[in-house]
Amino acid sequence: MANARAQAVAELVRRLGHGFKDARLLDRALTHSSVGEGVAPQTSSAPRDNERLEFLGDRVLGLLVAERLHNDFPEADEGQLSSRLHALVDKHACGRVGAALGIGEAVRLSPGETKSGGRRKEGVIADAVEAVLAAVYLDGGIDAARNVFEIAWAEELAKPPERSLTNPKSALQEWSQGQGRPLPTYEIANRTGSDHAPTFTVAVTVEGLEPLTAQGRSRQDAEKAAAMAMLKREGVI
């Protein structure tokens, strides 16, 4: 199993196109927090997981996406840019990027997390993608991170923008009222992740319709994603 993971890490490095000067950064980026379960943080044997790198990588990714969109769409307004940015940095996009890179097989997990299918969990993969991007940034600077971003996000960037809305919650509210239904309601169904990088799962309910859930990095983002998903499912957009 160790050899299989080592091969997966080597293949990941090849796909990233970045040779690490400090391999410890990549190792840390690929270490899930479950590895340290049961180990006191003050002991020297406690592994350093990827949560801090994930925090940094989220910001690096946001900058790189904003820069790319600013250059590619000079006529777009702020709302259009924000909508496109959200689609490129959300957990689903990061999960797809990580799956294409094969990050799931390269991540270091606890035995329990491995048994529960951690290598296929979108959240685990997406978090590791951001952590790896941060590791590249720390190892080689913003130009190195930009090069990896251009490679890893090429498929996502090539997709035509989905029909979107600046304020999907308002759009869902207007549609719901237009149908003679009460206002939509939102409820947090789950919250996972660390305090500095949580993932919220929110359920949106419109009377007479099947409830729907969506995820986001904040409650507000999750509510917007749920509203957007509801509008798409019902054929409004």
Confidence of residue 39 (pLDDT cuts 50, 70, 90): low
Residue 198 sits in a domain of what CATH number?
3.30.160.20
Question: Residue 141 belongs to what domain range?
Answer: 2-158
Instruction: Give the model confidence (pLDDT) of 95-120 as tens digits.
Output: 999 999 999 999 999 999 989 998 99
Let me know if residue 133 belongs to a domain: yes
Average pLDDT over residues 7-34: 95
Q: Is it the case that residue 83 has pLDDT exceeding 80? A: no
Instruction: Give the model confidence (pLDDT) of 123-166 as tens digits.
Output: 899 999 999 999 999 999 999 999 999 999 999 999 876 655 66
The residue from 98, 133, 158 where one domain ends is 158
Let me know if residue 163 belongs to a domain: no
The residue from 158, 177, 209 where one domain ends is 158
212 and 120 in a common domain: no
Between these two residues, 36 and 13, which has the higher pLDDT value? 13
What 3 state SS string does the chain have? CHHHHHHHHHHHHHHHCCCCCCHHHHHHHCECHHHHCCCCCCCCCCCCCCHHHHHHHHHHHHHHHHHHHHHHCCCCCHHHHHHHHHHHHCHHHHHHHHHHHCHHHHCECCHHHHHCCHHHCHHHHHHHHHHHHHHHHHHHHHHHHHHHHHHHCHHHHHCCCCCCCCCHHHHHHHHHHHCCCCCCEEEEEEEEECCCCEEEEEEEECCCCCCEEEEECCHHHHHHHHHHHHHHHCCCC
Q: Is it the case that residue 91 has pLDDT exceeding 60? A: yes
Let me know if residue 31 belongs to a domain: yes
Confidence of residue 74 (pLDDT cuts 50, 70, 90): very high
Q: Which of the residues are catalytic?
A: 58, 130
Global confidence as pTM? 0.72
Average pLDDT score over the chain: 89
CA distance 197 to 202: 16
- Mutual orientation of helices 78-89 and 91-101 as an angle, nearest 10°? 50
215 and 195 in a common domain: yes
Between these two residues, 69 and 118, which has the higher pLDDT value? 69
Let me know if residue 121 belongs to a domain: yes
Let me know if residue 6 belongs to a domain: yes
122 and 88 in a common domain: yes
Q: Is it the case that residue 172 has pLDDT exceeding 80? A: yes
105 and 202 in a common domain: no
Domain count, the chain: 2
216 and 152 in a common domain: no
